[in-house]
Structure 1
């Protein structure tokens, strides 16, 4: 769909509009909202997958004796946590958009 672009870091498509929302027809708005609702619904599963990766890396960290490897694992965990935070922001910030589907 032309209204979304896949974000490699987040692992989901995100909105990428080339004009103002009100400049789209009502039909196009409904199509966009329907598609966004499907994407938005997948965010909790994506977060769960990332949380599992964090848990794996934390388990590796608890057994790691090499300082440099520990720093690398900590950095990876921090990046995964940052992605989760951004996903929650997309999920919550756009909740009001998703509610328009039901209006």
Structure 2
């Protein structure tokens, strides 16, 4: 197998695993990879919206929380969700990066 897409539990999407440098794939393989990635990539904005909603819920809980330990836990959970959103935004730009490399 020269590449695959594996599900990432943290991100909630499948991500590409390439076993070779991009330039080592044939034009047909590149097209197949990009086509499958585009289908996955299209779902990223919805995933981000879902995570933002969870962050909002946790922020609302945090604003009412009186227990310091629980407040710290909520802050940590919010931070992790924000980190996931950041990583999803990076993955969202991956295809653009490959297309730019291809057209140089």
- TM-score, normalised via structure 2 length: 0.86
Change (3 A) 1:46 1:99: farther
Question: With CA pairs under 8 Å and 6+ residues apart, which has the higher RCO, 1 or 2?
Answer: 1
How many residue pairs get matched? Answer: 101
Q: Which runs of 5+ in 2 are unaligned?
A: none
- Separation in 2, partners of 1:27, 1:76: 42
- Separation in 2, partners of 1:77, 1:11: 16
**Does 2:25 align with 1:4?**
no
- TM-score, normalised via structure 1 length: 0.86
Considering only aligned residues, what root-mean-square deviation do their CA atoms show, in Å? 2.1
User: Which residue of 2 is the match for residue 23 of structure 1?
Assistant: 24
Runs of 4+ with >4 A deviation:
none
Q: Which runs of 5+ in 1 are unaligned?
A: none
User: Which residue of 1 is the match for residue 73 of structure 2?
Assistant: 72
Moved more, 87-96 or 69-78: 87-96
